[in-house]
Amino acid sequence: MIPRDVPAIDVTHVTVAYREKPVLWNVDFTVPAGVLLAIVGPNGAGKTTLIKAILGLVRPAAGQVLLYGKPYREQRRLVAYVPQRGSVDWDFPTNALDVVMMGALWGIGLVSPAWSRERDMALEALDKVKMTDFAERQISQLSGGQQQRVFLARALVQDAEIYVMDEPFQGVDATTERAIITLLRELRAQGKTVVVVHHDLSTVPAYFDWVTLLNVERIAHGPVADVFTEQHLRRTYGGNIALLTQPFHAEERSQPYV
């Protein structure tokens, strides 16, 4: 069902504009299957827009995105989305398990009486993110990191081939960061492809295999060892030296969870 000879994600000449100003300009890259890819760039670089274009949530003015050789519309089942935590109202009257079960709500399946299967899948996913104890907890009572893990579990329920995550590490605790990293590696070991919008330059080499440096245009794209260079970062972030020097002294300051 899933062809292995084509790239998991193939972005060609994608341009997106809100009003007149382009947010993404002629972005081109391909991602092979089984890779952990970080999308990195300054604020307003179009990172979120790029993943929304991959997910078909934003219609590009030009260009196209192919997932395993076909447009998103035909490949929906293969893609799972982990939105930014702040994109929903966590005071919504529901619990963690219920949110995770939303991931099982695919297709036009109207009334599905057999809830137990979905429930089992959801509990299993919660277990993978170490949230079993919080299954029945009202979602507003969860910490930011726990909320993030609920979103991850919801995506896991979809059992997708491509996972697209918008800043999953944003403002989470150490436990959650470790849990996410463990999860990303498990997914990679299963041959899944994970695209992560990422903010913390210092952890890019430790956490990811591939990186896309983005600032409206694609600055560089490829394996971290090849393209995560000071020269490329300088081009991505402009003259912001403070940000630039950070990743190269990072090992001394903070230990990424390896």
Partner 1 sequence: MFDLIHTLLSSYTIRTVALGAAVLGVLSGTLGCYAVLRRQALLGDALSHAALPGIALAFLFTGLRELSVLLLGATVAGWAAALVMMLVVNHTRLKEDTVLGMVLSVFFGFGLVLLSFAQKQPTAAQAGLDAFLFGQAASIVERDVLTMAVIAAVALGLMVLFWKEWKLLSFDPQYGNTLGLPMRWLDIGLTSLIVVAIAIGLQMVGVVLMSAMLVAPAVAARQWTDRLGLMVVLAGGFGALSGVIGAVISSLARGLSTGPVIVLTVSLFVVASLVFAPNRGLLWKWWRHQRNRERLQGAVQRGELVLGVPALDETGS
Contact pattern for partner 1 over residues 11 through 50, marking x by CB under 8 A: ----------------------------------------
Minimum CB–partner distance for residue 94 and partner 1 (Å): 6
- Per DSSP, what are the bridge partners of residue 18? 21
- By CB under 8 A, tell whether 138 contacts partner 1: yes
Give the dihedral of Cα atoms 100, 101, 107, 112; nearest 10 deg.
180
Is the distance from CB of 215 to CB of 236 less than 8 angstroms? yes
Residue from 110, 114, 242, 258 binding partner 1 (CB under 8 A): 110
Contact residue for partner 1 among 94, 170, 182, 202 (CB under 8 A): 94
Tell me: does residue 116 bind partner 1 (CB under 8 A): no
In 10 A of CB 47, how many CB atoms? 25
Q: Rule CB under 8 A: say whether 77 interacts with partner 1.
A: yes
Q: What sections of the chain are H helices per DSSP?
A: 47-54, 72-75, 96-101, 115-128, 144-157, 174-189, 204-207, 224-227, 230-237, 241-253
If one asks whether residue 92 binds partner 1 (CB under 8 A), the answer comes out as yes
Question: How many amino acids of this chain bind partner 1 (CB under 8 A)?
Answer: 29
Query: Min. distance of Cβ 137 from partner 1 in angstroms?
Result: 9
The Cα–Cα gap between 15 and 64 comes to 9
Give the CA distances from residue 61 to residues 24, 26, 48, 54, 76, in Å, rounded to whole numbers and listed in that order.
10, 10, 16, 13, 21
The nearest distance, CB 230 to partner 1, in angstroms, is 34
Note whether 144 binds partner 1 by CB under 8 A.
no
Site residues (CB under 8 A) for partner 1? Answer: 55-57, 76-77, 79-81, 83, 87-89, 92-95, 99, 102-103, 105-108, 110-111, 138, 140, 154, 158
